[in-house]
């Protein structure tokens, strides 16, 4: 249990997808204009990460990993399918995103139109694939750990995007130098937020 809390907190604050790895920047930068739409996209990312990481965990452990196929027949003990991980992970992610897209379109058409192209683009959002690949690389021990890691990474991304959206709403009328308006200042804010998040590095529970 303590282990799970540790993974959760770490994936939100210490190994934050945005501030520690700079993953998923494209939608983070493009959709963070208002808190409302960012909340929608953030929740979608939390959901997709929370579902795809455990599914990919199962795929990794029961299909791809070296010797994973022994549950079919002991003869497959030395089959290593990890070279297929990218394509399988992406397939899972794409189908999940499709699902989310249909749900959002049905229940919140305004949010759907606000998110526009960035909703289907979650499928190629680096933080989602990154979540699955980190899961593979860090070799989590159980499905629960993988799920918690997926959710935590999603929540971290969510916090980052609503945080910057609120800041961007606040500075909308600031007299930012013309060349920096828009994306330039957003990059600078992201960097400054990264400095603020560094306080969590090295935390141990």
Partner 1 sequence: MSRLRKFVDDIKPHFEKGGKFEKLHSTFEAFETFLFVPDQVTTQGSHIRDAIDMKRTMSLVVIALIPTLLFGMWNVGYQHYLATGQMGAGVTTLQLFWEGFKLVFPIIVVSYVTGLAIEFAFAQIRGHEVNEGFLVSGMLIPLVLPVDVPLWMVAVATAFAVIIGKEVFGGTGMNILNPALLARAFLFFAYPAYMSGNQVWTHGLMSGQGIVDGFSGATPLSLAAEGQVEQMPEASEMFFGLIPGSIGETSTLAVLVGAFILLFTGVGSWRIMLSTVIGALFMGGLLNLFAVNEFMAIPAWKHLIMGGFAFGAVFMATDPVSASQTRKGKYIYGFLIGLLAILIRVVNPAYPEGVMLAILLMNVFAPLIDHYVVESNIKKRQKRASLQAA
Based on CB atoms, which residue is closest to partner 1, 38 or 127?
A: 38
Does residue 91 bind partner 1 (CB under 8 A)? no
**Which x/- pattern, by CB under 8 A, does the window 10-39 give for partner 1?**
-------------------------x----
The continuous run of DSSP H or E covering 117 comes out as none
Does residue 2 bind partner 1 (CB under 8 A)? no
| Rounded CA separation 176/195 (Å) | 21
Does residue 128 bind partner 1 (CB under 8 A)? no
Alpha-carbon Rg for the chain, nearest whole angstrom, is 19
Least CB distance to partner 1 at residue 200 (A): 7
Does residue 156 bind partner 1 (CB under 8 A)? no
User: Measuring CA to CA, how many Å separate 86 from each of 56, 59, 83, 129?
Assistant: 10, 11, 7, 8
| Rounded CA separation 10/181 (Å) | 33
Count CA within 13 A, CB hemisphere, residue 7: 21
| Rounded CA separation 150/43 (Å) | 13
* Interacting residues with partner 1 between 93 and 112 (CB under 8 A): none
Based on CB atoms, which residue is closest to partner 1, 46 or 55?
A: 46
Least CB distance to partner 1 at residue 158 (A): 11
Does residue 162 bind partner 1 (CB under 8 A)? yes
**CB-based burial label for 203 (10 Å; 0-12, 13-18, 19+):** exposed
Q: Please give the size of the binding site for partner 1, defined by CB under 8 A.
A: 31
Does residue 196 bind partner 1 (CB under 8 A)? yes
| Rounded CA separation 26/143 (Å) | 29
Site of interaction with partner 1 (CB under 8 A): 35, 162-163, 165-167, 169-171, 174-177, 180, 185, 188-189, 191-193, 195-205
């Amino acid at each position: 249990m303590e282990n799970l809390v540790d993974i959760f907190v770490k994936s939100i604050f210490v190994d934050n997808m945005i501030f520690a790895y700079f993953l998923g920047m494209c939608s983070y930068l493009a959709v963070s204009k208002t808190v409302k739409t960012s909340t929608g996209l953030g929740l979608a990312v939390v959901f997709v990460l929370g579902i795809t990481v455990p599914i990919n965990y199962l795929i990794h452990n029961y299909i791809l990993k070296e010797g994973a196929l022994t549950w079919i027949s002991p003869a497959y003990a030395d089959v290593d399918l990890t070279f297929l991980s990218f394509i399988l992970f992406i397939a899972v992610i794409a189908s999940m995103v499709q699902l989310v897209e249909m749900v959002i379109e049905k229940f919140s058409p305004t949010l759907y139109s606000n998110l526009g192209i960035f909703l289907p683009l979650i499928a190629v959002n680096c933080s989602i694939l990154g979540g699955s690949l980190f899961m593979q690389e860090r070799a989590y021990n159980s499905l629960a750990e993988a799920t918690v890691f997926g959710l935590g990474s999603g929540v971290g991304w969510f916090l980052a995007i609503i945080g910057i959206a609120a800041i961007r709403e606040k500075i909308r009328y600031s007299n930012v130098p013309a060349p920096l308006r828009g994306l330039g200042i957003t990059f600078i804010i992201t960097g400054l937020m990264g400095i603020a998040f560094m306080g969590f590095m090295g935390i141990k529970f």
